[in-house]
Amino acid sequence: MNVKPLEKHHWVQIVDIHEKHFKDEFPLEDIFSEHILNRFVVTDESDKVITYGGIKLLFELFTVTDLDRPVRERVIALKTYLNKAITEARKREYEQVHCFATHSINGKRDNWVEMLEKVGFTKTKGPALYINL
């Protein structure tokens, strides 16, 4: 197998792979985004594409919220924070804002996932995974 930079002649194979296996998962435009860095392919000995990928930088949000404050105050603070964060993400030309929320904090059930969905976040198609470097 060979790992090499993406070349124009690979595009047709990538479009075919997307159409055959991923057209119902995400739009083709997602993998052609100008925001993707270091595009590369893994090919076989005949230069047939096995895998195509790149690095997409994420704009990830985090918060530290005083859980002793009334829920109404926390919701207003969250919406205020999100407005500022979204403005900053747009300034930097990010396509999405990510937030990895939990359903409980310190063992207490909270509904922040539901709240984030109400303000426009959607669940990912699969679980969010990561590698510590």
Residue that has been written with the tokens 């500022």 in this structure: 84
* Separation between Cα atoms, residue 19 and residue 129, nearest integer Å: 25
Per DSSP, the chain holds a count of helices (H) and strands (E) of: 4, 7
* Separation between Cα atoms, residue 16 and residue 5, nearest integer Å: 19
Give the contacts of 125 (CB within 8 A, at least 6 positions apart).
Answer: 25, 26
pLDDT value for 29: 87
pLDDT value for 107: 60
Q: Is 23 exposed, middle or buried (0-12, 13-18, 19+ CB in 10 A)?
A: exposed
Per-residue confidence in pLDDT tens, the chain, 133 aa: 999 999 999 999 999 999 999 999 888 888 888 888 899 999 999 999 999 999 988 899 888 888 889 989 988 998 899 999 999 999 998 988 988 876 665 665 567 777 788 888 888 878 888 888 8
pLDDT value for 13: 97
